[in-house]
Amino acid sequence: MLRRPLTCLIRSQRSFGSTIVIRTAKRCPVLWYYASDVPLTKPHDPSYKPGKPASKFVKFSVSDCERLERAFQGWKESQRKLEDVVSVPVNEDFLFQVDVPKMELKSTYWRGPTYEVRRGVWFDSSNVPLPSEVTAELELYYLKLNFKSDDENAQDVFKLSHRYGEYKLVVFTDQKTAYLLPHLDGGDLQLKLLRANIGALQGEKITRAGDDGSPPMDVAAAAKKKIENGIQSKAAQLGNISDLISWELPGVFGMTKDKDTEKGTDDGSNVLKREIETDYDSQATTSRRKVDHLVFCVHGIGQTLGKKYEYVNFTHTVNVLRSNLKKVYSESKQLKNLNKERGADDWKNNCGIQVLPITWRHTIGFQTDATKPNDEYPELPTLADITLNGILGLRRLLGDIALDILLYDEPFYRERILSEVHRHLNDVYRLYRERNPEFNGDVHLIGHSLGSLILFDILCEQDKYRLDFSVKNYYCIGSPIGVFKLIQRTKIQAACEEERKSSANVQKPKCENLYNLFHICDPISYRIEPLVDLSMAQYQPAIISHWSTGEGIASRVMEIGGSILKDIPGAAIKGGNTKKDKSMLPLDVAQRLMNLNHTGRLDYSLTPGFLEVDIISAAKAHVSYFEDLDVAGFILKEMLSKHNRRHHVIVTKENLPSID
């Protein structure tokens, strides 16, 4: 223990910035952490500033910590400037990267919030790592100490050049402990108490990491472990996009809001916290998985919803889907066996699928914000100026979707949208290949709402919007393609077929398998099979199996018998009975469908529960696909299964009785 008089112990030091050259006393493992509660910046919000410092920090994986520390030491020793870019890819499949000079975590493939990064060298009393500038200065002073010396004049009290809150001084008491103080009004007595580790009434006890890099009580790791109680709970932690409907609509229909709907007052910080904390397994020894299926998800223009309700941000939506894919895979022996049969080494824990959002809307100004004046035509009113006040919540929600249709139908915007989405797809694909040169798997597309129509037109116009990759499966989800193509007098045909004589236009999407997934209550969705062959209008869509029964007899009964729900209305019709016939499609019709999808079916329906047929359920249906486990299970099954074309296609024909 060092004991020395108070006089002449406090010395002012020169300013220490982020570029200071530091030599650590002992090169031992250093753990790295990132903030998860308070972002440094938010996307599309240049005026945002953190209201408080981050206090919740999550530890990077072991391999990430090692690579971050190597990059940090290399950057320091080369004495580079702060402006020099030293980036280290981190987290699951390197979806994120750390700017080492700036100590910031940001997403790699999309625009998202940035978070503070800290080295775990010195920790406060809550075992939160201290900020970079304070840590750098503490390490410099720490190296000046000689704890084995009996020199009474050796210095152990220093004045901080960067204030840390109210604290201006640091007193080192032993090799692992120090105190941050606002002042030393207590003189020698206060120092004696500190050096005896009795504590400080107005100070903050700080602790240096152990030889393994961990603080004595790793509260951050314990909190993270509690959050990550298995993949099964991750989707629930992320939250449901459809909760937005519960916030916005109950008052419209005279309903009383319950405690759950109070989530509408969330400012978004809790959502971002759940999103960043649950995005990957930080306890893994490596952040790299073998990816065999790369999926790009594209939203429609209506993601203005994400600007007004951060909870409905599309990146968050894709995170929910990614978590659900892991959940379903972790609980399905059948899906794991599909990967095992093809020889995957990590089939027990790795589904081999990575999903990336394509966030493009912010690059195009549509001049449709509700209250923002029209910069191009200032004499025109804003959207708010022409919006009726009746059922305002529902009108705002559906207005965002309706604007999709109006804008995309305008040739000027349509060309800009297609060009922008096409550019983003190729840019993200090239970046992913640069970061993952070993990737040689399949690429799939998912389009939601108008995003599905955007992708459909890109796939049909490959001479103009050529993609740098081939598309295996294309999933249209909650899609208005059917009604758009009907209005455009357009039929759909496989790219491999010779064009049939028709008075209508013909479009040929360039993909191996086309899927059209919809909830029967979704007011935006339409079927597309009748646009391939008119006779398909008389047959029911295929049924998406419930994921928990997808391996049993229940799902097969649903596929054969069709939707039980459709029996209910028929029972209420006087003198009528609903009759279902199981039929085999004519070979020519089946072949046309199999040329577009190996299963011979394009339309796949989710069915609601018996109590879910109302206007709120209809609104929820359109925004809830990515949180639906049935959708995740269906996507997994279709991606991982071998695509053997069928010799025949069985469909269910329904003859509805006439109404007297």
User: pLDDT of 166-191, one tens digit each?
Assistant: 888 888 887 888 888 887 765 666 67
Q: What is the pTM of this model?
A: 0.79
% the chain with pLDDT above 90: 38
Beta strands 473-477 and 513-519: pairing type? parallel
| Stretch 278-291: mean pLDDT | 63
Query: For position 529, what pLDDT does the model report?
Result: 97
| Stretch 256-274: mean pLDDT | 45
Reply yes or no on whether the pLDDT at 26 is more than 90.
no
More confident residue, 368 or 175: 175
Residue 218 vs residues 90, 223, 375: alpha-carbon distances, Å:
21, 9, 52
% the chain with pLDDT above 70: 65
Contacts with 466 (C-beta within 8 Å, 6 or more apart), sequence order: none
Q: In which band, very low, low, confident or very high, does the pLDDT at 128 lie, cut at 50, 70 and 90?
A: very high
Sign of CA dihedral 263, 269, 271, 277: negative
Residue 318 vs residues 314, 349, 354, 478, 596: alpha-carbon distances, Å:
6, 20, 10, 15, 26
More confident residue, 424 or 382: 424
Reply yes or no on whether the pLDDT at 563 is more than 50.
no
Query: For position 83, what pLDDT does the model report?
Result: 64
| Stretch 364-389: mean pLDDT | 67
Query: For position 175, what pLDDT does the model report?
Result: 81
Query: For position 523, what pLDDT does the model report?
Result: 82
More confident residue, 19 or 412: 412
449 catalytic per annotation: yes
Reply yes or no on whether the pLDDT at 310 is more than 50.
no
Amino acid symbol at 226: K
Reply yes or no on whether the pLDDT at 651 is more than 80.
yes
d(CA 586, CA 535): 10
Q: In which band, very low, low, confident or very high, does the pLDDT at 378 lie, cut at 50, 70 and 90?
A: confident
Report pLDDT digits (tens) over 501-525: 778 899 999 999 999 999 988 888 9
Query: For position 638, what pLDDT does the model report?
Result: 95
Q: What 3-state class would DSSP assign to 510? A: coil
Reply yes or no on whether the pLDDT at 64 is more than 60.
yes
CB 550 within 8 A of CB 559: no
When mean pLDDT is compared across 2-16, 57-71, 218-232, 445-459, the lowest value belongs to 2-16
Highest mean pLDDT among 156-165, 260-269, 418-427, 601-610 belongs to 418-427
Other Cβ atoms less than 10 A from the Cβ of 439: the count is 16
Reply yes or no on whether the pLDDT at 415 is more than 90.
yes
CB 504 within 8 A of CB 520: no
| Stretch 287-296: mean pLDDT | 90
Which is the catalytic residue, given 449, 479, 545, 555? Answer: 449
Annotated domain spans of the chain: 228-279+289-655
| Stretch 198-203: mean pLDDT | 61
Query: For position 25, what pLDDT does the model report?
Result: 44
| Stretch 450-459: mean pLDDT | 96
Q: In which band, very low, low, confident or very high, does the pLDDT at 27 lie, cut at 50, 70 and 90?
A: low
In degrees and rounded to multiples of 5, residue 602 shows phi and psi of: -115, -40
Query: For position 312, what pLDDT does the model report?
Result: 46
Reply yes or no on whether the pLDDT at 532 is more than 90.
yes
CB 212 within 8 A of CB 121: no
Q: In which band, very low, low, confident or very high, does the pLDDT at 205 lie, cut at 50, 70 and 90?
A: confident
Amino acid symbol at 140: L
Query: For position 377, what pLDDT does the model report?
Result: 72
Q: In which band, very low, low, confident or very high, does the pLDDT at 365 lie, cut at 50, 70 and 90?
A: low
d(CA 378, CA 281): 50
When mean pLDDT is compared across 77-86, 193-202, 429-438, the lowest value belongs to 193-202
Reply yes or no on whether the pLDDT at 221 is more than 60.
no
Query: For position 502, what pLDDT does the model report?
Result: 78
In degrees and rounded to multiples of 5, residue 492 shows phi and psi of: -110, 135
CB 108 within 8 A of CB 95: yes
More confident residue, 588 or 655: 588
Look up residue 434 and give its two tokens. Answer: 């640069």
d(CA 300, CA 452): 8
* Summary mean pLDDT of the chain: 76
Q: What length is written for the chain?
A: 660
More confident residue, 448 or 185: 448
